[in-house]
Structure formats: C-alpha cells, structure tokens
Amino acid sequence: MTATHCPYCALQCAMTLGPADAEARRVRAPVAVTGREFPTNRGGLCQKGWTSAQVLGATDRLTTPLVRGADGELHPATWDDALDLVAGRLTEIQERHGRDAVAVFGGGGLTNEKAYALGKFARVVLRTPFIDYNGRFCMASAAAAANRSLGVDRGLPFPLADLGGAQAVLLLGSNLAETMPPSTQHLAGARAAGGLVVVDPRHSPTAALADDGAGLHLQAVPGTDLAVLLALLHVVWAEGLVDADYLAARTTGADDVRRSVAAWWPERAERVTGVPADDLRRAARVLAAAAPVNGGAGAVVLTGRGAEQSTQGTATVTAAINLALSLGLPGRPSSGYGAITGQGNGQGGREHGQKADQLPGYRKIDDPAARAHVAAVWGVDPDDLPGPGVAAVELVRRCGTPGGPRALLVHGCNLVVSAPDNQAVRERLQALDLLVVCDFLPSETALLADVVLPVTQWAEEEGTMTSLEGRVIRRRRALAPPPGVRSELDVLHDLAARLGVTSGFPTDPAEVFDELARASSGGIADYGGLSHARLDAAEAAGQALHWPVPAARDGAEHPGTPRLFADGFPRPDGRALMVPVDHRGPSDRLHPDQPLYLVTGRVLQHYQSGAQTRRVPALAAAQPEPYVELHPLLADRLGIADGEPVEVTSARGTAVAVAHVTPGARPDTVFMPFHWSGEGSANRLTTDATDPISGMPEFKVAAVRVRAHVPE
C-alpha cells in the first residue's frame, strides 16, 4: 500500500494506492484508490479523485518519443534520437537568433523538484529569461496582492481546518462545492452560524450552500467583485465596525483606504454590481459581527479565480485584504484572508523558480543578494543569470514573432485549450521553429509539437507537492512507469548534458529536493529545514510541515509555520500595507453586437483542460460535452430550448455548445466550462487582456452574443 495524494487540485486529498482489485481491473486502473485521513479531506475524495487511477491506465498513454517527420506526421523515435534532435535544434536556434530565442513554459502540476529543476535549466543551461508557467493563469493576482500587502504569498496563511472555527466566511469567486468538494465540510461552522457569504454571478452549488439561513448569496454582475468589496469596506468603516487598535498597531495606509471607500455607499454599489444595497449591508455586518474585535469567533475572507482572473484582479484581492485587515483578522484565530489555490502544485509551482521574475524561495530575480545566494548554490556566476522575463500571456504572444522566441519547451501544460484566446495561441505555437512538449498523454498541445517526450505521471514518481495551505507533502511511487517513459528530471539531465552542462541536474528527486532546500533557505518560502526523509518521518508521526521551515539551528529542527502573521508581517516595517484601489470594470464592455456576459469555470467531473479527466469513462459519461448555461428568460428571448446547440461569439471567435437552461444563471450572463477543445472550447472566446500588475488574463468576463446554432 502506498500513501500518497490525489494528482489533481490543490486540496491534495490524501489517498492510499493498493493492488488493483476487481473493480480497478474492470475500469483498466492499475491500482485501487481509497481515501485516507488527512486534515484537508478527512478521508473524503471527489469523483475525480476516486477515478484518478484510470488515467494511469489510459489506452493512449504516450510511451515512446515522437518526432514530426517531413510528411508532417508524428513518428516514434528513440530517446537518443529525440533528445539529440532537441538539443541540436536548440543550439542552432540560439546560435542564429540569440539565447532569448528559446523559451520554457512550465506547469502548476509539476512536483516541487521538477519546477525547481525546470527553472534552473532555463537560467543555467539555456540562459534565457523567458520562463513562465500556467500558474500565471491561476494564482498570479492573489500572489501579487498578497506579496504587496502582507509581504508573503502563501495561498492560505493558516491551515484549512481553521475555517471550521470561523463564524463567518466570505467566499468570492470560488465554486468549492464542485472544484474541491471535500473542502466544503470546513464551512459547516459558518453555515450553522448563518455566516457563509458567497459572491458569484451564478447560483452555483457553492452559492446554494448559503441558502436556507446558512448565509447569503450575492449574485453580482460579472467583473464587479471589486465593487462588492468596496461597498463592504464602506459599511464596516461607516458603521464603526473596524478594529481600530489592530489597524493602528499592525498596518499602514488605513486612513487612505478609509477615504477611498467613502463614496462606495451600498446604493451606488448596487447600481454597479446588481446586488441589493440591503444585502451588501447585511453581508458586511455578518462578517464584522464574526470578527474578534466585535466579540465574534472569527471571520475569514477567501478569494478564488472568479475574483482574481480579471484585469483588476490584483486590485480586487487587495480590496479583500483591506477588508480583512480593517476587521483585524490576519494572524487571529479562525480568521484571516486567503486565496484558494487551484492547481495541484499551484503553490509550490510558484515558489521555486518557474515564474519569470522569481528565483527559488520566492527570491526576486532582480535582487542582487538573491541572485548571489542562488548562483552560489548553482555554482555559477550571478552575472551569468538572466534577468526577469515576461508573464505567460506575453511570452506566448511573442512566440514566432520577429525578435520573439523561436523555440518553446512546454512541461505539464495544455496551452492550446487552457490559455485565453486559444485559437490565437495555436497560431503562435504553429509559428515556432521548434515546439517540444513533455507530457504523459497526447494532449492537444502535444499533438502540435515537433517533438513529444513521454514522461511519468503522479503515481509513478517520487517527489513533493505544496498544498493550498503551504503544507509540504510527499508524492510517492506506487507502480513502475510503462517501459519507454522517463521522468522530466531524466529529460532535463540528458538535455543539459547534450547542451554542455554535465553536472547539477540530478535525477534522484530526493537529491533535487535537498538542493531546492538550500536554494530556498533564507527566502520567504524557506524549505531549508526539509528533506524527503524529514517529511516522511513527520507524516508517520502525524505532524504537518507548513513553510517556512528554516534549517535546523543548534541541532533543533524548526517545527514549521502553520499560521502566519501572529507576530507581524514579513515586510520591512513589520506592518501590513493597506493600498487604496478603485473599480474600473472589465476590459470587454457589452455592446449591441455582444450584449451578454460570458463567465467560465469548472465542473465537478473535469480538471483544467480536461486532458486527463476527459479520458476517464465515468467522468466523460457524467459530463460528456461542452455546454452553455442560460437563464430561462434569456433562452426564451433568444428562442433557444434546453439541449439545443447554440453559438457563442465574442470578439475573438465563436464556440458551439449545448444549451443548459437553468434559473441559476443571471439573465444577462451565460456560463461555459472550459474543459473542452475544438469548437466547444470556452477559451476560443476569452480575452488575453491582462492585469497590469500580475499578468493574469481576464478569463472570467467576455462580452458575447448567443444564438441558436444552425449547422451548415
């Protein structure tokens, strides 16, 4: 039996993998999955987790390298031939166009070890500044705002279980009940107290948890989460509900924020958000009453992608943090602000050097001291390390353009489905001289590649992941990979050697982790006191290790840091910074040709681009095809019946999907899940406009037209 964690989302539910039983064999799974007791999932798994072993047995699993031939088709190749080809083409492209002509795109599902090795490979072997990853589509706004205001970006700066003690939880733009169902058990306390406040344009399954006296659903106009927050801030300041002592002792900028929200009275916000002013007042009072300063048991403000994937995403999260600080929540029991990380290793994936502007340990790449520290660990001259690159959307936008990257290495990301305006992304990837994709399945992006390298997946490898609460956990190998498959660590080692770097890229994950720990030591995300052996021992003893975990001092191991901010904020003055922000609305505006809002999101059965979950028969059967949710009034006005195909058109393109008529949608808004490719792909419609601070694209709001689809 192997104790490990689910391969999908950041909840990282614990599971045990055992020998395949009759049921596993029936569904072609090589191992049997059972839920395991763990603080985030308490033994529970969602349907994706229960069926996750079936991806290991996928019938179209990649088991041999593929190289595109002169006939335009992908053909099997030996590893030596494929790696020789990649190394030769990279060298040729860099000699002809310069080092910056090669770029790397990583993923938030890679283990910490792979994410670290990939960042090092880009900076030390390729010596290119152009590396970024798909976490830029996921966590960038929350990370930027938290870094600026709190001095650190750890999705939840407290254990998830702390939610259980909260009397009120404000949840903005997150559909937890579908994306990570076991997590909703932690909302029971807030629901029992009538304190669950959900802000979402849809009456989602999560919004439904706030029905029947459990709280409030604020069904805001898409793209107006920031205005909702400004109104809540207005109320808590106007009604004297703030924690004045906390603000005076632990923050700077509170007066600026107070002045900035003075004009956001609820009636004004109602005109922007569509949320009744009385509901805004009620929500603010519910939250404030739960704050310790007002005698409550605790209150938590949480943001998800609905609030963050916006051109004003950093401002929105900043307002959420301002609200939490105004009520004196961060650092208090069962209280605080947190972002709900999406991807499995979305947290660790952004800590170890995959981001364009960061080195391991969250060190800034333009900080001379940070460069010197990491360069010393890597055994290179700091002056040889490249500077900052560009964020993911901009990186892809430049691919194949004059002066832009001519070659791209993609690890763990299905860009042509998951990126915004994905038909334009496909064109950019096709314009490259060389596209190399490491994957374990023939994803839509892999099928575009010049070279495909087949790699191991979760239950076939050792490593670590970092969950949404900053807990570093072990991923363990339960079975051998199919013959012909290698780990990305092997791929990077072999490519580095072919490119002239014959040391520094070990293939043993424990050895890579030890180096990662040294590179991160002393940084914000400090793993200096961790090793695979310590993580194993801690798990056996029932202990959790949340970073920062500095290196042992005087022989005493650091116990980890489950809760941040109890004694201050890791900013130069030890205080949180409150930054005034204002609402300006999304980049797409409604107009007569595109008079409806489109919002995108996930469904229970599928994960991200769907490359894995669409291959699991039970999940595909439950959610077989792309669909569009419409309100009955809208469907009636457009003459569309439930189950009919409809066309959705934005300024970027048109998608065709099946109409689901449901009163849960706003009459001015349609919803599409983004898990499918082809003509039903929601990201054909989304804009690549980005947040100016975080680089986060605006996935959550597009102006669209909807009409019945008439096949040609």
Query: Judged by CB, which is closer to ligand SF4: 38, or 627?
Result: 38
What DSSP string runs through 165-218?
G-SEEEEES--HHHHSGGGGGGGHHHHHTT-EEEE-SS--HHHHTTTTTTEEEE
- Edge-first strand order for the sheet with 196-199 is 215-218, 196-199, 168-172, 299-303, 336-339
**Nearest-approach distance from CB 548 to ligand SF4, in angstroms:** 24
**Nearest-approach distance from CB 370 to ligand SF4, in angstroms:** 32
Query: Judged by CB, which is closer to ligand SF4: 9, or 156?
Result: 9
**626 CA to centre of own chain:** 22
| Residue 465 touches ligand SF4, criterion: CB under 6 A | no
Angle between helices 266-273 and 277-290 in degrees, nearest 10:
120
Q: Is 387 exposed, middle or buried (0-12, 13-18, 19+ CB in 10 A)?
A: exposed
Query: Judged by CB, which is closer to ligand SF4: 603, or 628?
Result: 603
Cβ contacts of 199 within 8 Å, gap of 6 or more: 170, 171, 172, 173, 218, 220, 225, 228, 306, 307
Region binding ligand SF4 by CB under 6 A among candidate stretches 6-14, 418-426, 639-647, 701-709: 6-14
Indicate the residue type of 259: R
| Residue 182 touches ligand SF4, criterion: CB under 6 A | yes
Query: Judged by CB, which is closer to ligand SF4: 46, or 301?
Result: 46
| Residue 156 touches ligand SF4, criterion: CB under 6 A | no
| Residue 6 touches ligand SF4, criterion: CB under 6 A | yes
Residue from 56, 102, 180, 380 in contact with ligand SF4 (CB under 6 A): 180
| Residue 46 touches ligand SF4, criterion: CB under 6 A | yes
**Nearest-approach distance from CB 604 to ligand SF4, in angstroms:** 9
Q: How would you label 168-191 residue by residue, b for 16+ Cβ within 10 Å and e otherwise?
A: bbbbbbbbbbbbbbbbbebbebbb
Query: Judged by CB, which is closer to ligand SF4: 17, or 665?
Result: 17
Query: Judged by CB, which is closer to ligand SF4: 6, or 232?
Result: 6
- CA dihedral sign, ordered 343, 347, 348, 350: positive
Binding map of ligand SF4 across residues 7-26, x = CB under 6 A, - = no contact: -xx-xxx-------------
**Nearest-approach distance from CB 40 to ligand SF4, in angstroms:** 8
Q: How would you label 426-465 residue by residue, b for 16+ Cβ within 10 Å and e otherwise?
A: bebbeebbbbbbbbbbbbbbbebbbbbbbbbbbbbbbbbb
Binding map of ligand SF4 across residues 223-262, x = CB under 6 A, - = no contact: ----------------------------------------
**Nearest-approach distance from CB 342 to ligand SF4, in angstroms:** 10
**Nearest-approach distance from CB 12 to ligand SF4, in angstroms:** 5
Angle between helices 277-290 and 225-238 in degrees, nearest 10:
60
Could you say which DSSP state residue 386 is in? -
**Nearest-approach distance from CB 673 to ligand SF4, in angstroms:** 15
Residue from 17, 45, 122, 365 in contact with ligand SF4 (CB under 6 A): 45
**Nearest-approach distance from CB 35 to ligand SF4, in angstroms:** 8
Longest dimension (CA), the chain: 75
**Nearest-approach distance from CB 295 to ligand SF4, in angstroms:** 34
**Nearest-approach distance from CB 607 to ligand SF4, in angstroms:** 6
**Nearest-approach distance from CB 209 to ligand SF4, in angstroms:** 16
Query: Judged by CB, which is closer to ligand SF4: 6, or 220?
Result: 6
Size of site (CB under 6 A) for ligand SF4: 14
Q: Name the nearest CA neighbour of 312 among 696, 577, 687.
A: 696
Query: Judged by CB, which is closer to ligand SF4: 45, or 138?
Result: 45
Q: H/E element holding 307?
A: helix 305-308
CA distance 470 to 343: 13
Could you say which DSSP state residue 221 is in? P
Residue from 41, 422, 456, 609 in contact with ligand SF4 (CB under 6 A): 41
CA distance 655 to 685: 7
Residue from 24, 29, 36, 49 in contact with ligand SF4 (CB under 6 A): 49
**Nearest-approach distance from CB 188 to ligand SF4, in angstroms:** 17
Query: Judged by CB, which is closer to ligand SF4: 8, or 671?
Result: 8
CA distance 350 to 153: 10
Nearest-CB residue to ligand SF4? 49
Query: Judged by CB, which is closer to ligand SF4: 182, or 361?
Result: 182
What DSSP string runs through 474-521?
EE---SPPPTT-B-HHHHHHHHHHHTT--SS--S-HHHHHHHHHHHHT
Strand-pair partners of 411 = 438
**Nearest-approach distance from CB 312 to ligand SF4, in angstroms:** 28
What DSSP string runs through 558-571?
P---SS--SS--SS
CA distance 614 to 625: 9
Query: Judged by CB, which is closer to ligand SF4: 6, or 339?
Result: 6
DSSP 3-state percent helix, strand, coil across the chain (nearest 5): 35, 20, 45
Region binding ligand SF4 by CB under 6 A among candidate stretches 1-9, 399-407, 511-519, 703-711: 1-9
**660 CA to centre of own chain:** 27
Bridge-based pairing of strands 131-133 and 168-172 is unpaired
Region binding ligand SF4 by CB under 6 A among candidate stretches 72-80, 176-184, 389-397, 627-635: 176-184
| Residue 587 touches ligand SF4, criterion: CB under 6 A | no
**Nearest-approach distance from CB 181 to ligand SF4, in angstroms:** 6
Region binding ligand SF4 by CB under 6 A among candidate stretches 179-187, 590-598, 609-617, 678-686: 179-187
**Nearest-approach distance from CB 14 to ligand SF4, in angstroms:** 9
Query: Over 416-439, what HEC string results?
Result: HHHCCCHHHHHHHHHCCCEEEEEE
Backbone dihedral region of 33: left (phi > 0), alpha (psi from -120 to 50 degrees) or beta? beta
Bridge-based pairing of strands 702-708 and 596-601 is antiparallel
| Residue 619 touches ligand SF4, criterion: CB under 6 A | no
Can you give the binding site for ligand SF4, defined by CB under 6 A?
6, 8-9, 11-13, 41, 45-46, 48-49, 180-182
